[in-house]
Chains A and B, each alone.
Chain A
Amino acid sequence: MVRRKSTEQESASRPARKRELPLDHYEVPDETTSPKRRRGPNKNNIADTDIGAATAKASSLKALKEVGLVETITDGANGPQSSPQPTPVKKRRGRPPKVKTGEAANVAAASTPLAKRRKNVAATPVKLNGINGVDTPSRRNNADRSARRKSARALIDRVFGGALSDDEDEDGGIAREIYESSEDEEGDQEGQEARDDDQEGPDPTTPSKKRGRPRKAVSARKRSPTPPRDLPPHEQYFYQNKPGLTKTSSNNLSSLDLLTHEEYFSVLRQLKDPHASDVEFLQSLHAESFPQWSFEISQGFSTCLYGYGSKRRLLHQFATYLSERSLSPQQPKVVIVNGYVRTTTIREILSTISNAIDPSYKLVSGNPVVMVQNLLSLLSTTGLTVVLIINSIDAPPLRKAMTQSILAQLAAHTQIRLVCSADTPNFHLLWDSGLRSSFNFAFHDCTTFGSFGTEIDAVDEVHELLGRKARHVGGKEGVTYVLRSLPENAKSLFRLLVSEVLAMMDEGGGITAEGPGIEYRILYNKAVEEFICSSEMAFRTLLKEFHDHQIITSHKDSIGTELLSLPFRKDELEAILEDLMS
């Protein structure tokens, strides 16, 4: 009990001193507070003290600068003046000591000890941070030590070995240097250790045990919550992908009312981009390069625009420029391809080009490889030039190797000029050196900051990203529309499903990432009970119909039971149910 009092007193006086602590942490504060034993203050958190003490000896000067550590040391340094009592043996397992310090009367403040102690605990992470800073001082120190040991051995060997030759002498010089340099450093630390030892007196920690401790400290260290600054990207990757580091809060977006398409567009229509004029200006700067680009494509290069922002408008302007500029009787045919449209296929691109060359010509259908050969031979018979402008050449529909190799074949033809834009930061991985040389790209940084309004369906993208809703027919109206074309028992089954899901929502069970899901088996049994279907076969057929229209989703939970869920919000479901009942 007495022991605890001393702790309280210590922790009471501590915050004040901490504030006054001078920048140079080695300066010993000249306070003559009550005598205390070295391990007193941190009794509550013995492990920390261990780390502190061990690091004090083992770590380099840099680590010593951490506030927490130095405090421990200064405590120790203060100790000798006023700690006459030898500390009992093995005090480290936080048991209250029996020795009466006698200074209990000196307790100055009667503050609540608990709070203070908490503060003390809260302060510890600072200490820990220091230890796992960017480099690992203790490890470096170990390496230093082993180098020192080796050099010492080399020096000794040399003395005993006698006969020297020149180059050996040089080695000796290095060994001495290593030995002495580490002696300097160790000198400091040994000074500390010596003081500690003085004070700790009967503490039975042997030097060898102290040697061992740094290792323990290293293994016991925790990871810092704040990432080290200014790491190169690859280091950042490894840092952030350390196992166990990916701790995120368990907040989720359930409280937030997600946007619907209608709301998104109605808000968007009223918005005004504050950077609109700057974006416009940036675009006009890029537009000044039009003559250059058209020169490039006329010389057999393909122009590829990359950078953040939509380049669709820029390319459209370029198309306008090209068709206006051309003065020859044979206008180039400009074909624009929108790679971002999800339904883009290479067949459609090829047939559009063929249409542009000769509307009456019928391109063979079938394999795109055959189509492109056919197309190129058609082109060669005419003298036309075709400018192919591809928006987002790296968009998912065009990413297939087959598609890219066909585009490359097109680009390699002398009468076809290719201009394209790319939106992702590593689109160049699409092409191997063979494709690159047939494309013969000239790249230009065209960061436009233009909005991707047309290219991206933001609501769908985000919801897909969150795993909320797959692509589905639009909301309640879509469902009603689909159901109208289905037989009566399909409607009944859907009604059943909706009411079950709503019931689950009310109970709050079965929540998964996709929303509440109902077990396939259970739904089947209920459907049989209500005479919706008589066999599993018929049940499956009905479900398949729903699946095809994407008004239900199915997935397996962790133990493999199949769950069916509806990709709608609760109010939507209620509205649907109302519709179905009426």
Chain B
Amino acid sequence: MAELEDNTVFQQDDHRAAYIFSAPSSEDQHHHDASSSAARPTKRRRVSSKKDGSKSRQQTAAAAEETAATRSAFTPLFNSESPEAVRLRAESFETAWPVLDARIQHVLREANRNTLDEVTSFIRNAEAETTQIPAGIIITGPNIASQDLLFEQLADTLCKATQARFVRLRSAEAPNLKAALKKIIKDARASGRDDDDDTDDDDETGLSVCKNGRKYLNYDLETLHVALDVNESPRVIVAFQDSEAFDSGLLTDLIALFHSWHDRIRFSVLFGIATSVQLFQARLLKSTARYLYGAQFDVVQAGSVLESVFKSAVAGSQALVRLGPSLLRNLVERQQDQVAGIQVFISSLKYAYMCHFYANPLSMFLTADGHVDRQLLQSEHIQAVRTLGSFKAHVEAAVEARQLNHAQSLLNDDSYLVDQILKQGQRRQDHVMRLLRSLHLITAMGILSTPFTDLYISALAEGISLSSDMFAVVDPIKRLGPDGIISLIRRLVSAIEAGSPELDLPGWESKADELIASLGEIRNEVESLVERTKDNRNPLKSKYGAHSKVLRTTVVAQKVQLSRDTATLTDEDNAFTKAINSLMDILSQHIHCDPAESLFLHEAWLYDSKSPYRDVFIPRLATTFGRALTRPHDYLGCACCGNAGGAVASTLPTTAILYHLYLEAGALINVADLWSAYYASVGDESELGLDERTALVHFYEGLAELRMMGFVRQSKKKADHVAKLKWL
């Protein structure tokens, strides 16, 4: 009955362009406001998620009411997850993400810092140097998505630094000269002082009344002049965000106008440019270009921005959820291959967090303070842990290591398992620390030129060990001379002391006494060896050094023979070789990390699922539509169409049948033939046996849908023909 009512409401509204939606019935609304804990009407339960038991819904509702601030859209999992656990997950998400978000925003702002300073000093100094209009030309690159932030920052900084009025113009907002001037005047007047602007705008007459009582047209720069006059230095900065998109005539006019007002209002302009200055200049008239006193500024490359965002948000120690290697590789590749923009990377990151906390019940172990209330663990959680792949691997490893008691209690004893689970929080942190420290040491060596993102991803996937291909630092270190070794050790020690602010990694010299001490020993030894061999003619070398081997070239019977001779090593040299060996031992002992997936319960903190990311951010439209139309059974699961298996059957939805025929047709389709083919498959002689008029109604529907989806359009070539537009 309610359904029927809904439908009538529907019908009226369906043909309106826009309307305010009101909840179906007032009675329901009332009930809602009261929000009593009485049983809900069945109707409502139907609308909500099917998984919810009504009981837990009530509880959730109650809980949500208590804490309206942390109210969230999280649904109970396991069919019967306790509301506390749900809330815990929601809270974890709500605390984890903002921390990261703030860091990312900070990184992005910092990335533009240099450009901002340069532009500011240019604008400040340019006026003294020239009478032309100062023009800062900022090469922003093709990614227009990140421009907004840059110009926002420019507005902030320049307003503070130069006391100027800042106006941002986008091509969409300024289609012609009049509109552009109106916008400039309006924004410039607004940006200076927001409260005591005592002029009145009257949009209908297009006049502005200024405080001197005179009326001006609202696109007359005189208005601006009068408004700014109270200031000592009326200075206006106009920023053209997407200069390429502006009409070049409009730009020329504006610049000429600015120049003629330059003695009364001091204009400066900024251009955001995606291509190159040359191309931009070519679009301006020479006479216009003469008015400008330009300087070029570059913005930080997208790649390095990605790297720093990656370091702070993905790799950094504050990142609660670790993204898995395959997902990360996907994300980074998308950044490199497509002009997706850093914003896409950030939202993908956020989405991964959302997925993890929303859909993984075990994410409740991942609270910010690392403490989980034992009471919250339900039997379902324990059961879920026992089905994990990492649990299986852990138990098997325990059996292999003959820790049979441990293995058995893991399997049978719930409370023992809970203890183990609670311990894992610490393990996770240890692992992350070990990973980051090792990576930090490796990058501090300055030997590898691999980008940090790649290093991190492979460290997650395969772990870190100095012998692997990815971290091929062993040979280069062995080949270092004594000076190189000494400076390497110095770099390592300072890396340990300083930590890495980018990774949010504090120094850990207090925990690495042993390492620092042994590194110091080696350094002392090498230094003393250098001292001893100072007077020698031969410099100190190890047996690994390249110069210890002599390449000998002999020409025998018109053939070149190469042979290597090992130069003789002195005692000092041997000692040095030994020192290098012990250095390598120490390093490979300390720079080491297991792959993330080898850890027990990594499922609770490692998110490595590609499919939601792909589905949500890179939809495959052609495939989806093609599948729905060629194989409707995949979606409908109906009894009648299952046997068709991708072929035409009379029971398929009309549009699907037409789509099959469409696929078979050429670039031009005769509708009469299409109709007769369609009628042949659903008409009197088929199983369906529709009469002609009914079939025609279906045919109309299907054809109209094909047209609406842009598959066909009218063709003038022949009567009753349509042209094919899509090849999915």
Contacts and interface: CB of A to CB of B under 8 A. Distances in A.
Interface in B20-40: 20-24, 28, 32, 35
A271 interface: yes
A98 interface: no
Interface in A362-380: 364-367, 369-370
Interface string A34-58: 0000000000000000000000000
Contact of A290 (B6, B32, B44, B48): B48
A69 to B, nearest CB: 28
A1 to B, nearest CB: 46
B16 interface: yes
B704 A445 contact: no
A449 B636 contact: yes
A466 B23 CA distance: 42
B619 A306 contact: yes
B347 to A, nearest CB: 6
B172 A424 contact: no
A279 B719 contact: no
A288 to B, nearest CB: 5
Given A248-B669, A452-B705, A465-B713, A341 B15 contact: yes
A185 B556 CA distance: 47
B408 interface: no
B21 A275 contact: no
B18 A352 contact: yes
B697 A467 contact: no
A502 interface: no
Interface in A281-314: 281-282, 284, 287-288, 290-292, 294-296, 298-301, 306-309, 312
Contacts of A299: 350, 354
Most buried by A among B28, B147, B638: B638
A402 interface: yes
A251 interface: yes
B340 A433 contact: yes
Nearest to B40: A324
B234 interface: no
A496 B484 CA distance: 103
Contacts of A401: 172
Given A433-B144, A466-B714, A348 B49 contact: no
A451 B14 CA distance: 14
Most buried by B among A233, A279, A299: A299
Contacts of A442: 351, 616-617
A271 B672 contact: no
B144 A327 contact: no
B433 to A, nearest CB: 30
Interface in A409-458: 423-428, 432-434, 436-438, 440, 442-445, 447, 449, 451-452, 454-458
B651 to A, nearest CB: 7
Nearest to B711: A425
B598 interface: no
B49 A288 contact: yes
Contact of A295 (B74, B143, B629): B74
Most buried by A among B21, B143, B616: B21
B697 A296 contact: no
Nearest to A429: B621
Contacts of B710: 424-426
Contacts of A307: 624-625, 628
A255 to B, nearest CB: 8
Interface stretch (A261-269, A476-484, A531-539): A261-269
B632 A246 contact: no
Nearest to A514: B719
Contacts, number: 302
B374 interface: no
A349 interface: yes
A183 interface: no
Interface stretch (A108-116, A315-323, A544-552, A567-575): A315-323
A372 to B, nearest CB: 10
Given A433-B339, A442-B351, A445-B615, A256 B675 contact: yes
A234 B726 CA distance: 10
Q: Size band of the A side of the interface?
A: 35 or more
Contacts of A564: none
Contact of B49 (A268, A291, A443): A291
Contacts of A319: 21
Contacts of A465: 671, 703-704, 707, 712-714, 722
Interface string A342-354: 0111001100110
Interface in B667-693: 667-673, 675-676, 693
B672 A335 contact: no
A433 B51 contact: no
Nearest to A359: B20
Interface string B703-727: 1110111101110111111101011
A582 interface: no
Interface of B: 6, 10, 13-24, 28, 32, 35, 44, 47-51, 61, 64-65, 68, 71-75, 143-145, 147-148, 172-173, 179, 203, 339-341, 343-344, 347, 350-351, 354, 358, 615-617, 619, 621-622, 624-625, 628-629, 632, 635-638, 640, 651, 653, 655, 664, 666-673, 675-676, 693-694, 696-698, 700-701, 703-705, 707-710, 712-714, 716-722, 724, 726-728
18 contacts: A227-B664, A245-B667, A246-B668, A296-B354, A320-B24, A324-B23, A327-B68, A334-B20, A336-B19, A338-B14, A366-B203, A424-B708, A440-B343, A447-B635, A457-B704, A458-B701, A462-B703, A465-B722
